[in-house]
């Protein structure tokens, strides 16, 4: 007799056994079919994609650096060629930008991208385009958008293996326009606002949100991000020249990384400079007569309203004495689960009289921001590209699609100009515009903007130069021509802070009354911290009140002897950057507690000892530019004029990831003759490791050297790599 603890191995009835086998086989077949479907490679139906190449009269000339020079019969032809050339160098990022603005990024990258897709629905980007594109955009711009879309579709048809989502092709004009609506509000801080609203501890503490946890779909959240734009007029140049520096600090990769191009048409378009993936015009640079550069400013153009919800109806809010209905919609978010397998999730989308609204753990809020109905970003840039005089260019700026950006201008006539560009609302003085606003009254609901002429601006100052380095506009230059802070409403949120780059620009350009071309170049690549800078002041604070910790005594001695330089050979820069870079913009805007400073200094000490067995390695031993097989030491540092923002890597190095990227210096001689030079941190082939132009400019970049810019076709052909038609 079997023990009750022994298993019973009585045979299974044959019929049940056969049924179980069949069930297992069917399940296996279904799983195999599912996996086959999920991972079977797909290609777009290229036979269905239109061959747009024959419709556009355009040639692409690649110079010896791989930079595309687009020559078209019309401006529309040029847009087609620019799209095709950029796709040759970075099709994946262009697609990512377009897919993100369509609200379909989660179809490619899964649930982590769903927040982006929800944002597209929340902000009603596509509804805005449908309402305003026809009336706000010129027929030429609408045609250029479609031509750019056709250029990408043409490339996709020829390279189906590079396509991320086959069903988005053929692209439309709105597919090209949408990324401008998607990116614009994130530059002036809407991401910060949304991050704050969704914080369950909102209002309960002042702990900064860690950078890694911020809503940052553009990847622009570098610590202490910044830019340089500087113009010098004949009043201050040694030989009557006019100089312009175009030097925006961007991520080195991603949807807002710079791409260099030259566009030329028989209709008067002739512009060199840089643009972003998916943008059909040059964003900043110069034509033969004039040029400009953008830097980021921080006007207060976003407001938050606390809504009072009807206790009997959660879809109503109180406004001007009555309950109003939310406009309630549903965002359908398609999310990749496995291979090609998707699942559609739905989320509520609310809209109030103020703008988009969110139910959050701490209440229901609405957000209102400048340019909520704006679609004309590319229209304004196009008009700036086409301008040939200061008056024409200023008229393009008065179009006012751009809700922000400091802008520095220079031209062949010797004019220089600075503008604190901002679509600042006209606000009632009875409310605190730095905090949450009452969503119950129209008295707090602004509907007008400050006139263009009322913005801070400086035209042809007696000092002969203007600079914009993400600091206050009230110290744009030296002398008496700066805007006065007393002339501007505090609700505009105009910055009063000074960056190190602002201090150094004023010291260098303001201290030299006869600037040569070589000096202008050298000042741009300055790697020093001013004695007035937040870095210098922080070091002085710590040395005045040093922590009682023998582990960092050597570090304190090194700080005391440091010369405030971040040159490649410097032996104090590594300690300082590792110590202070994590604080980012807090360093400029608040006094960081001693305890935090001491703790971060100890972290830097331990990092250097672990990886270098010393506290004073040469800066270029630590700070590197890494690109493919190239791995080379690099100078520059956060918030110096030669700005480099780096991230620690597993090998103990810091790898550059943002800062100086595309740099352009334009010079108009006294007789109006133009010559310019540029450099890119990597090269023209942004995402093509197999290309000779993937990293061919990197060594020049590290050495702080630049290459010539060619605009005449004959000169381009002297340095021609290849010429072709798409």
Q: Which residues are catalytic?
A: 227
User: Within the chain, what is the greatest distance between any pair of CA atoms?
Assistant: 114
Q: Distance between terminal CA atoms of the chain? A: 86
Please name which of 338, 343, 249 lies closest in space to residue 641, comparing C-alpha atoms: 249
Residue with tokens 């119950």: 440
Instruction: Tokens 């609200």: give the residue.
Output: 103
> Tokens at residue 436, please?
């949450």
Q: Which tokens in the block code for residue 78?
A: 């040029």
| 303 in a known ligand binding site | yes
Scan for tokens 């195999």, then name that residue: 32
Distance between CA 429 and CA 19 in Å, rounded? 79
Do 85 and 70 form a contact (C-beta atoms < 8 A)?
A: yes
Find tokens 């990512």 and name the residue.
96
DSSP letter, residue 671: T
Nearest residue to 672 via CA among 163, 359, 234:
234
Q: Is 328 helix (H, G, I), strand (E, B) or coil?
A: strand
Please tell me the distance from the alpha carbon of residue 367 to that of residue 123, in angstroms, as a whole number: 10
What's the length of the chain? 726
542 is in an annotated binding site: no
481 labelled ligand-binding: yes
Residue 653 CA to residue 204 CA, distance in Å, equals 38
Q: Which two tokens stand for residue 585?
A: 């913009």
Query: How many Cα atoms are found within 13 Å in the side-chain-facing hemisphere of 127?
Result: 10
Q: How far is CA 475 from CA 244, 293, 407, 472, in A?
A: 18, 18, 15, 6
List the one residue out of 347, 368, 357 whose CA is nearest residue 314. 357
User: Per the structure block, which two tokens stand in for 253?
Assistant: 């990769």
Cα distance between residue 191 and residue 183, in whole Å: 10
Q: Are 103 and 179 in contact (CB under 8 A)?
A: no
Strand stretches in 18-91, DSSP E: 58-63, 68-72
Return the DSSP state at 211: G
**Residue list, annotated binding site for Ca(2+):** 302-303, 481
**Residue list, annotated binding site:** 302-303, 481
């Amino acid at each position: 007799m079997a023990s009750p603890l022994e298993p019973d191995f009585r045979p299974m009835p044959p019929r049940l056994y056969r049924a179980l086998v069949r069930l297992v086989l069917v399940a296996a077949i279904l799983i195999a079919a599912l996996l086959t479907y999920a991972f079977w490679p797909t290609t777009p139906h290229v036979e269905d994609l239109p061959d747009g190449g024959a419709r556009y009269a355009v040639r692409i000339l690649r110079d010896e650096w791989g930079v595309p020079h687009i020559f078209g019969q019309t401006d529309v032809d040029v847009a087609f060629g620019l799209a095709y050339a950029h796709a040759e160098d970075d099709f994946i990022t262009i697609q990512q930008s377009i897919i993100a603005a369509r609200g379909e990024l989660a179809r490619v990258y899964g649930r982590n991208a769903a927040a982006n897709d929800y944002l597209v629905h929340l902000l009603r980007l596509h509804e805005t385009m449908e309402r305003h594109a026809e009336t706000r955009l010129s027929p030429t711009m609408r045609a250029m958008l479609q031509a750019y879309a056709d250029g990408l579709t043409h490339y996709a048809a020829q390279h189906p293996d590079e396509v991320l989502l086959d069903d988005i092709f053929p692209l439309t004009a709105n597919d090209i326009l949408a990324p401008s609506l998607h990116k614009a509000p994130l530059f002036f801080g809407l991401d910060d606002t949304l991050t704050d609203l969704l914080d369950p501890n909102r209002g309960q503490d002042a702990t900064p949100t860690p950078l890694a946890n911020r809503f940052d779909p553009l990847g622009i959240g570098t610590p202490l991000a910044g830019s340089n734009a500087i113009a010098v007029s004949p009043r201050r140049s040694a030989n009557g020249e006019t100089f312009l520096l175009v030097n925006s600090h961007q991520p080195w990769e991603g949807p807002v990384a710079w791409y260099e191009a030259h566009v030329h048409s028989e209709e008067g378009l002739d512009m060199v400079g840089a643009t972003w993936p998916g943008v059909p015009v040059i964003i900043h640079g110069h034509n033969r007569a004039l040029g400009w550069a953008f830097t980021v400013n921080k006007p207060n153009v976003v407001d938050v309203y606390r809504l009072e919800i009807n206790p009997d109806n959660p879809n109503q809010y109180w406004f001007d004495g009555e309950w109003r209905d939310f406009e309630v919609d549903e965002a359908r978010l398609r999310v990749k689960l496995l291979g090609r397998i998707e699942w559609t999730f739905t989320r509520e989308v609310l809209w109030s009289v103020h703008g988009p609204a969110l139910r959050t753990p701490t209440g229901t809020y609405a957000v209102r921001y400048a340019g909520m109905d704006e679609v004309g970003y590319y229209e304004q840039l196009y008009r700036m590209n086409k301008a040939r005089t200061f008056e024409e260019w200023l008229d393009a700026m008065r179009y006012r699609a751009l809700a922000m950006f400091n802008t520095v201008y220079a031209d062949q006539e010797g004019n220089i100009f600075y503008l604190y560009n901002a679509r600042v609302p006209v606000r009632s003085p009875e409310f605190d515009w730095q905090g949450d606003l009452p969503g119950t009254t129209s008295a707090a609901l602004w509907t007008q903007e400050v006139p263009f002429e009322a913005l801070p601006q400086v035209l042809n100052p007696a000092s002969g130069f203007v600079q914009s380095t993400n600091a206050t506009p009230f110290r744009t230059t030296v002398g008496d021509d700066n805007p006065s802070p007393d002339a501007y409403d505090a609700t505009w949120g105009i910055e009063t802070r000074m960056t190190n780059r602002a201090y150094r620009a004023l010291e260098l350009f303001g201290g030299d009354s006869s600037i040569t071309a070589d000096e202008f170049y050298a000042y741009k690549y300055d790697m020093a911290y001013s004695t007035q800078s937040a870095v210098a002041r922080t070091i002085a604070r710590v040395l005045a009140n040093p922590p009682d910790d023998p582990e960092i005594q050597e570090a304190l001695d090194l700080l005391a002897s440091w010369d405030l330089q971040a040159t490649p050979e410097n032996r104090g820069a590594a300690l300082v950057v590792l110590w202070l870079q994590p604080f980012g913009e807090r360093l400029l805007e608040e006094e960081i507690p001693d305890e935090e400073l001491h703790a971060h200094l100890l972290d830097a000490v331990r990092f250097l000892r672990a990886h270098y067995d010393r506290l004073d390695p040469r800066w270029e031993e630590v700070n590197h530019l890494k690109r493919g097989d190239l791995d080379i030491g690099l100078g520059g540092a956060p918030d110096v004029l030669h700005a480099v923002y780096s991230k620690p890597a597993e090998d103990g190095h810091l790898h550059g990831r943002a800062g100086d990227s595309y740099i352009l210096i334009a010079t108009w001689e006294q007789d109006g003759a133009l010559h310019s030079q540029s450099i890119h941190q990597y090269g023209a082939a942004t995402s093509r490791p197999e290309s000779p132009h993937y990293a061919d400019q990197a060594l020049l970049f590290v050495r702080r050297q630049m290459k010539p810019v060619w605009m005449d076709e004959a000169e381009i052909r002297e340095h021609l790599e290849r010429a072709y038609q798409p």
